[in-house]
């Protein structure tokens, strides 16, 4: 998949393009449904399939105080779009000027000018442009004048008459229901970060050395608790793990923010400084305070056994 940063650097595909537009946060099953239809219709018309997305979630500019945490960072989103078979992703910088741009100007600059769109495929409730004034009706009207067809798709449901959405997935994660979130994502929710030094207690005192993964601010995290997880190293190796996301109440009376600590099963080695990928598979229990180190170690032993049972053999590589 080709990736282009900014419409000014984009050369319209020869023969035109079939385009969809959106934040695509999570690239969940609802997104996958739309992408599959985009690819199908693009192939039928011999057009390049193109996703137009943004370098940040638009809400971080439009309403920064209530912007949602992101399900996928740029790297992961692009990986997932590539895995969906998209030919080109155009990443549009989203700033105050873009937020105030009219829907008509966006169509002329990006769809007509940069991409030579011949087909636009979006959800039937799609809105864009300043004040969310752009919609399927406006796209259809402009398409009749600028040579592109518009398809508004019904949103994909989960079989229970509920729309698959990034908002719903965030809600499930916040309630610790990572299994249900994985069902809507089509894969376990994954976070990425650098392994940093912690307080050193895990290995020296508890005999459970953990990787403290520093996840960037603004990334969607599950609710605090203990999880069966997969840990992927930069070399692609995948390890079963028990992950603790919380404030470590047994040793800390208070903490400003939760810490992600991951114990890799059947692994010995130095992980410091590496980029880790942690995928949450199942919520094992809530975090709680223990009266003694011995009681905590006893529970951690049980957590590791539970994680091993849930996870089974490691996959060759988890989904991104």
Give residue-wise pLDDT tens across range 259-291.
999 999 989 999 999 999 999 999 999 988 877
Q: What does each C-alpha distance from 180 to 67, 73, 173, 197, 212 come to in angstroms? A: 23, 21, 8, 32, 26
Same domain, 142 and 267: no
Specify the 3-state DSSP secondary structure of 45: helix
Same domain, 11 and 70: yes
* CA nearest neighbour of 159 among 36, 32, 29: 29
Same domain, 223 and 270: yes
Res 28: pLDDT? 96
Dist CA 194 CA 276 (whole Å): 6
Same domain, 140 and 76: yes
Token pair in block for residue 312 = 């089974």
Same domain, 232 and 286: yes
Quick one: average pLDDT of 107-130? 96
Residue numbers of the domain that contains 242: 188-311
Dist CA 45 CA 270 (whole Å): 52
Task: State the DSSP H helix or E strand holding residue 195, giving kind and residue range, or none if neither.
Answer: strand 189-196
Task: State the DSSP H helix or E strand holding residue 285, giving kind and residue range, or none if neither.
Answer: strand 275-285
Is residue 295 very low, low, confident or very high in pLDDT (cuts 50, 70, 90)?
confident
CATH number at residue 123: 3.40.50.620
Res 313: pLDDT? 79
Is residue 47 very low, low, confident or very high in pLDDT (cuts 50, 70, 90)?
very high
Same domain, 194 and 148: no
Predicted structure pTM score: 0.91
Is residue 154 very low, low, confident or very high in pLDDT (cuts 50, 70, 90)?
confident
301-320 pLDDT, tens digit each = 999 999 999 998 777 555 55
Domain contains 79: yes
Token pair in block for residue 90 = 């155009």
CATH number at residue 198: 2.40.30.30
Domain contains 46: yes
Same domain, 109 and 199: no
Domain count, the chain: 2
Domain contains 65: yes
Dist CA 134 CA 98 (whole Å): 14
Same domain, 196 and 301: yes
């Amino acid at each position: 998949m080709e990736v282009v940063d900014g419409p000014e650097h984009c050369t319209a595909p020869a023969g035109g393009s079939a385009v969809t537009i959106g934040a695509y946060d999570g690239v969940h099953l609802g997104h996958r449904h739309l992408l599959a239809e985009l690819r199908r219709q693009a192939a039928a018309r011999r057009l390049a399939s193109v996703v137009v997305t943004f370098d940040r979630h638009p809400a971080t500019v439009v309403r920064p105080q209530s912007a949602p945490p992101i399900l996928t960072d740029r790297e992961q989103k692009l990986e997932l779009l590539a895995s969906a078979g998209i030919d080109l992703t155009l990443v549009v910088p989203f700033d105050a000027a873009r937020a105030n741009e009219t829907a008509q100007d966006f169509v002329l600059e990006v769809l007509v000018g940069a991409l030579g769109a011949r087909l636009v495929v979006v959800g039937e409730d799609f809105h864009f442009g300043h004040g969310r004034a752009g919609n399927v009706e406006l796209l259809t009207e402009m398409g009749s004048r600028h040579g592109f067809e518009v398809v508004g798709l019904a949103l994909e449901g989960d079989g229970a008459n509920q729309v698959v959405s990034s908002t719903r997935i965030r809600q499930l994660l916040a309630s610790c229901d990572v299994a249900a979130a994985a069902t809507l994502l089509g894969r376990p929710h994954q976070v990425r970060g650098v392994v940093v030094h912690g307080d050193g207690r895990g290995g020296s005192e508890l005999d459970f050395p953990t990787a403290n993964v520093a996840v960037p601010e603004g990334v969607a995290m599950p609710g605090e608790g203990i999880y069966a997880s997969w840990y992927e190293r930069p070399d692609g190796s995948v390890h079963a793990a028990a992950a603790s996301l919380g404030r470590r109440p047994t040793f800390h009376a208070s903490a400003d923010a939760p810490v992600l600590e991951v114990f890799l099963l059947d692994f010995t080695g130095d992980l410091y400084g590496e980029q880790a990928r942690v995928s949450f598979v199942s919520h094992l229990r809530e975090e709680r305070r223990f009266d003694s180190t011995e009681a905590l170690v006893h529970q951690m032993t049980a957590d590791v056994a539970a994680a091993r049972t849930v996870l089974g053999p490691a996959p060759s590589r988890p989904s991104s």
